[in-house]
Amino acid sequence: MLDTDAEEFGGHSLIDHNTDFFTKPEEFNNRPNSLMVYIPSRVALVLAKMD
């Protein structure tokens, strides 16, 4: 949905906005699913759940 690496926020545009991220049914931190995301240092991402 949003990332601070976008040019409009002064970022370097290193994140590909055509990437889909999926959860895996692997428990982590007492939660049933986990998600692995590439994220450059000093960048924030806002993700949204899709059906």
Angle at 34 between CA 31 and CA 35, to 5 degrees: 145
CA distance 22 to 34: 9
CA dist., res. 18 & res. 31, Å (int): 27
Cα 44 from Cα 25, distance rounded (Å): 24
pLDDT exceeds cutoff 90 at 1: no
Q: What is the mean pLDDT of residues 5-23?
A: 88
Q: How many helices (H) and strands (E) does the chain have?
A: 0, 2
pTM to 2 decimals?
0.58
Q: Say how many domains are in the chain.
A: 1
CA–CA dist 30, 37 (Å, integer): 19
pLDDT at 39 over 90: no
What mean pLDDT is predicted for residues 20-30? 91
What pLDDT score does 31 carry? 93
For residue 35, give its domain range.
Answer: 1-51
